[in-house]
Structure 1
Amino acid sequence: MRLSFLEPLYTEPGPFASVYVDTSRDVAQPDRALDLRWRRLRADLTRQGADQALLGVLEEAVGADAEVPGTHGQAIFAAHGSLVLDGELPRPPARDSARYSTLPEAMPLVTQHLPEIPYLAVVVHYGGLPTAETHGWVTVEAESGTWPASAVTPGERLHHRVPVASWHHSAVRLGHQLDAWARRIRADALVVAGDEWAGNVLVRRLPHSIRDKVVRARGPTPTDTGRALLEPQLGSVFRGRMAEHDRDLVNVFIGRRALRGPAVEGLAAAVGALQRGQVAALLLNHPPPASLRLWTGPRPTQLALNEEELVSCGVRAPREEPADEVLVRALVGTAAELVVVPEDELLLDEGVGALLRYADPAATV
């Protein structure tokens, strides 16, 4: 998973206010419910030392996603009286939280983007009979997305309507259009739902390069929900699945580990590689627990397991911070990727591994 969307968080030093709040609209009196939630979060931030200018910026941002229907949440980050990042959450946070700290609390936002699978969703509607070759219309809705974040931030949408009499011919042209679109977004899957006959015509006329990626989905197929096209079906299709890009990285890691190539395992080895800007992708079995801490300095590559290591490298007044915050900043600052891989797919030493850009075992901090 590429973390470039987090770059705005690290262009300026902290302290940061990090707010995670349930902004769902499918509750009674949603505005009142959100107001109560924000009051509690505001009180928490005030106790932690946030000033009025910062609180005012956050108050304007909380609930600004009122046009998004259904269940969802917001991840909002602000610093020095300015809004830094406002991210939509496809699911409400496990609990509302507000933290005023040196580093932004970005890992919960990252985990809501996982596994970040690019896809195309296609709904084919036809209200007549397949034998009625001179009457009726076939309507196609298609939408790109990256699951699961696309549930609340849908991508490009295509609308196509043709007479049923020309559907066989039109499906060929549409198939090539979908194939080009899928290539452009590097789609892992083409999820097709709706009328079975019309959908079969389309699938049979798709180019072979995209036909192998087709997943047929069942169930109701409304196209005007304000959420992602085929949102209910996407969960059952993608849940528990890794993005193909991430799986490729895992396979490279497995190969390098077997051949003792440029890859390391264990927290200490991964932190050392991040210090040198050597990590191409950090692999985790799961996000670090809240109890795990690392020491850090002003720059993303200034991180260590203990304070003495940073002091010996000339870092003045290192700080002990939550490991997840330190690691995310280091990954963004060095343009490294993050892959969360289940233990049953790949068991890592201490739950941590790293693919390296180059092999340099003699390098130090």
Structure 2
Amino acid sequence: MRLSFLEPLYKQSGPFASVYLDTSRDSAVADPDTAIALRWRHLRDALMSEGADRSTITAVADLVGSDTEVPGPHGQAVFTAHGHAALLDELPLPPTRDTAHFGTLPDTMPLIVQHAPGIPYLAVHVRYGGRHSTDATGTVRVDAEAGTWPLTKVAPGHHLHEEIPVGDWPRAAQVIGRELEGHARRTDCEAVVVAGDVWARGILVNRLPPPLRGHVTTVEGTGEWVPGRALLEQRLESLFSGRMAAHDRGLLDVFLAQRAHGGATAEGLSAAVSALQRGRVKALLLNNHPESPLRLWVGPESGQLALTEEELRSYGVQDVREERADAALTRALVGTRAELVLVPERELRLHEGVGVLLRYPLPRNDPGAPGARRP
């Protein structure tokens, strides 16, 4: 996963307020605005207890609940610094629990987790409006959306809508197929999911360009598209559940192959920190453990991180703070433009939950190298 969406956040200096809360406005809640205000009140108290100033509280309050146009279950991630908005993002799902943190580094891991798996896809829904395929007065209605799963749940991608006389459908399907191929090429599409009327969708699939046709999955059923939500959302949820993006899967496969042959990999927090300090990380692999007690010491710059305060001060860093390990690692990844791969433990259990795929092999006597002697 590329973390470029976090770059604007790390261009600013801390301290940061990081707030995650449920901002759903669905029929299950009689008065959602009051519920959101109550949840924010609890988080506000938490921020104040951690030392947040009045300008920070005001900045967060101005952003909380501003997503009134987003329907269905969802949440918000709000980051502020020095009384100003630093980053605002919609969460495809409400957070497991509402949280607030005020500290040197932003708490970005819950946001990253909700961006995963980050699968680029095309969803296509084809509806035939006549009584049968020979009805000359009927129409074929096509809705298509190019997006990245699961973000399109709350941030819809490019949407295409066409309504075509049934007699023109075989020819028009070929034209639409070429247009869909263009979207797929621009987004490195991994999956094309097609639903709707069997006859009409069959014509479209058979007229798709061959490279695109190889990525097609047809799903049963029809349904109305809900504006502001992903097209075919429930079917995409079932299809992509537990799946890694192909790009991340490729990085994991390279890591496993390199590890098997003693190549450019390392595991454990110490090895990851050492490699990040030197800008050697191509991708960091992480078993996400939100409850992890692991901490690191950090300085003002992204590459200033260490296992101990003494180590960091030995590099000449004076302004040091202790922060969550995942927050420190994430900042270092963004600063060096390395990638992050969230690896389910059922796929691979990493030592201390952390592994690194290196840009090049470490010298054999390097402390982070596999098999190197340690003091």
Question: One fold, TM greater than 0.5?
Answer: yes
Deviations 1:210-237 (A, max 9, x none): 1111112233421234211111111101
Quick one: distance in 2 between partners of 1:99 and 1:305? 22
Q: 1:70 aligns with which of 69, 72, 80?
A: 72
* Change over 3 Å in CA distance of 1:298–1:63 after alignment to 2: same
Report how far residue 149 of structure 1 moved.
1.4
The answer on whether the counterparts of 1:294 and 1:322 sit within 8 Å (CA) in structure 2 is: yes
Partner of 1:194: 196
Task: State the superposition RMSD in angstroms.
Answer: 1.7
The answer on whether the counterparts of 1:151 and 1:227 sit within 8 Å (CA) in structure 2 is: yes
Which one-letter code corresponds to 2:23 in the other structure?
A: T
Matched, 1:174 2:140: no
Partner of 1:244: 246
Report how far residue 133 of structure 1 moved.
5.0
Question: Percent identity at matched positions?
Answer: 57
The answer on whether the counterparts of 1:2 and 1:336 sit within 8 Å (CA) in structure 2 is: yes
Larger mean CA deviation between 288-297 and 226-235 belongs to 288-297
Quick one: distance in 2 between partners of 1:3 and 1:254? 22
The answer on whether the counterparts of 2:133 and 2:199 sit within 8 Å (CA) in structure 1 is: no
Report how far residue 202 of structure 1 moved.
0.6
Report how far residue 258 of structure 1 moved.
2.2
Which one-letter code corresponds to 1:21 in the other structure?
A: L
Which one-letter code corresponds to 1:244 in the other structure?
A: A
Which one-letter code corresponds to 1:175 in the other structure?
A: G
TM-score, normalised on structure 2? 0.93
Deviations 1:67-122 (A, max 9, x none): 11111110000010100000100111111111111111110111111111111111
Deviations 1:241-262 (A, max 9, x none): 0101111111111222223222
Partner of 1:332: 334
Alignment of 1:339-358 (within 5 A): 339-358=341-360
SS of aligned partner of 2:120: strand
Partner of 2:19: 19
Matched, 1:296 2:303: no
The answer on whether the counterparts of 1:123 and 1:194 sit within 8 Å (CA) in structure 2 is: yes
Report how far residue 10 of structure 1 moved.
1.1
Report how far residue 347 of structure 1 moved.
3.3
* Change over 3 Å in CA distance of 1:262–1:148 after alignment to 2: same
Report how far residue 313 of structure 1 moved.
1.6
Partner of 1:138: 140
Partner of 1:6: 6
The answer on whether the counterparts of 1:193 and 1:221 sit within 8 Å (CA) in structure 2 is: no
Alignment of 1:246-261 (within 5 A): 246-261=248-263
Quick one: distance in 2 between partners of 1:272 and 1:135? 69
Unaligned runs of 5+ in 1: none
Alignment of 1:1-365 (within 5 A): 1-26=1-26, 27-287=29-289, 289-361=291-363
Moved over 4 A (4+): 362-365
SS of aligned partner of 1:36: helix
The answer on whether the counterparts of 2:193 and 2:217 sit within 8 Å (CA) in structure 1 is: yes
Quick one: distance in 2 between partners of 1:348 and 1:329? 21
Which one-letter code corresponds to 1:151 in the other structure?
A: K
The answer on whether the counterparts of 2:129 and 2:141 sit within 8 Å (CA) in structure 1 is: no
Report how far residue 191 of structure 1 moved.
0.9
Which one-letter code corresponds to 1:181 in the other structure?
A: H
SS of aligned partner of 1:134: coil
Quick one: distance in 2 between partners of 1:118 and 1:209? 16
SS of aligned partner of 2:161: strand
Deviations 1:188-211 (A, max 9, x none): 101111111101111111112111
